[in-house]
Amino acid sequence: MVQFNRKSTLRNLTVNDAMRRQIIQLDQAKTIDLGINVLIKYKVNALLTVDSQGKPVGVVSKTDVMGAYYAGLPVESPLEYIMVSPPLFCRSGDSLETALEQMRTSGVYRLYVTDNEPGDLVGALAYPDIVGLLYQYCHQCEYSHLKTSRESHQDDSVRRFNVREVMTPSVKSIGAGETLNTVMETLSAFRFGAMLVTDENGCPRGVISKTDLALNYKHGVDPGVAAHTVMSGPVSTCDVDSLLEEAIKKMTMIDIHRLFVHEGEMSNIVGVLSLSDAARVRSGSCYACVSSRIKVEDHG
């Protein structure tokens, strides 16, 4: 675990500090069905595909699985039919800023990490890993909201980020009677990870994520069925004026990547907060260390 002190700056961190050591991979000849099982079991958004010699050849994400579902590809098809090739790599000793810039310019959500020897895979780096590291930094900081709330005598005059400042201030929703095909078209067009499902009055009733779609694909659900028949609920939300630190904590505790943001009534959804949004402000709490934060651009 990385240890921070008050003079630490995130600019000194390397990929090794943030990456996850477990690499989820499958032979490219294995079926999409098996790939979905692995994605769900390990709670990851993508897996690395390898050839018969174990050499990395591609990446299969939940977006790729959704595309196969939409196209009507049999779930018994091999992963090589839908994988994106080649996978992109960085080195464990690279600066975190360099890796993040590579992710941004390449338009990818993750990099696979090698050691000094080419092909020597040691881990993977994705945006949630970065957010987790930044939140860890914030949590240990002397200005942490958790610490100041415990020490009620302390004057908490630090300006803190709230959800309103960071969220994506627009929401694309879909009616409960629309089909899964329409859900997939919308998710693909706007590069969303999940879709809010609303009733005839526009009130939120559930969510359909790429994970939900992958499971329906696996179970042979007709993509022409209505959204309300497969949506999950309840909708995970937070208030627009909540502290960003608290919202990140909530996402971490219930293991989700986004919260729908309401203002006033719970039914008044005005935005979405994702882990990617949290990464853009380079921390989980306040303005106390802006000059030392890593700049993370919107990766789409």
Q: Which residue has the tokens 């579902």?
A: 69
CATH superfamily of 10-126: CBS-domain (3.10.580.10)
DSSP letter (8 states) at residue 294: P
Contact call for residues 276 and 84 (beta carbons, < 8 A): no
Distance (Å, whole) CA 127 – CA 188 = 19
pTM of the model: 0.83
What is the Cα 115 distance to its own chain's centre?
25
Contact call for residues 114 and 91 (beta carbons, < 8 A): yes
pLDDT number for residue 156? 59
| Strands across the sheet containing 89-91 | 89-91, 110-114, 121-126
Pairing of strands 110-114, 121-126: antiparallel
Residue 176 neighbours by CB under 8 Å, 6+ apart:
197, 198, 199, 200, 205, 206, 226, 227, 228, 231
- The verdict on whether omega for the bond into residue 86 sits within 30 degrees of 0, i.e. cis, is yes
pLDDT in tens, 134-149: 777 777 777 666 665 5
pLDDT in tens, 240-273: 999 888 888 888 888 888 999 999 988 899 999 9
pLDDT number for residue 21? 93
Q: Which residue has the tokens 């005839």?
A: 200
pLDDT number for residue 201? 86
DSSP letter (8 states) at residue 125: E
pLDDT number for residue 280? 64
Give residue 11's identity as a one-letter amino acid code: R
Distance (Å, whole) CA 241 – CA 109 = 28
Helix 32-41, helix 62-71: angle, nearest 10: 140
Task: Delimit the domains of the chain by residue range.
Answer: 10-126, 162-280
Q: What is the pLDDT along the chain (300 residues), one digit of tens a residue?
A: 444 343 334 567 889 999 999 999 999 999 999 999 999 999 899 999 999 999 999 999 999 999 999 999 999 999 999 999 999 999 999 988 888 889 888 888 899 999 866 568 999 999 888 877 877 777 777 766 666 555 554 555 677 888 999 898 878 899 999 999 999 999 999 888 899 999 988 889 999 999 999 999 999 999 999 999 999 988 999 999 998 888 888 888 888 889 999 999 888 999 999 887 876 665 556 666 554 444 444 333
Return the structure tokens found at 21: 């050591």
DSSP letter (8 states) at residue 91: E
CATH superfamily of 162-280: CBS-domain (3.10.580.10)
Task: Classify the C-alpha dihedral 3-8-10-16 as positive or negative.
Answer: negative
CATH topology identical between 10-126 and 162-280: yes
Distance (Å, whole) CA 38 – CA 117 = 28
Residue 163 neighbours by CB under 8 Å, 6+ apart:
238, 239, 240, 241, 242, 243, 244, 247, 259, 261, 271, 273
Distance (Å, whole) CA 261 – CA 259 = 6
Distance (Å, whole) CA 69 – CA 74 = 8
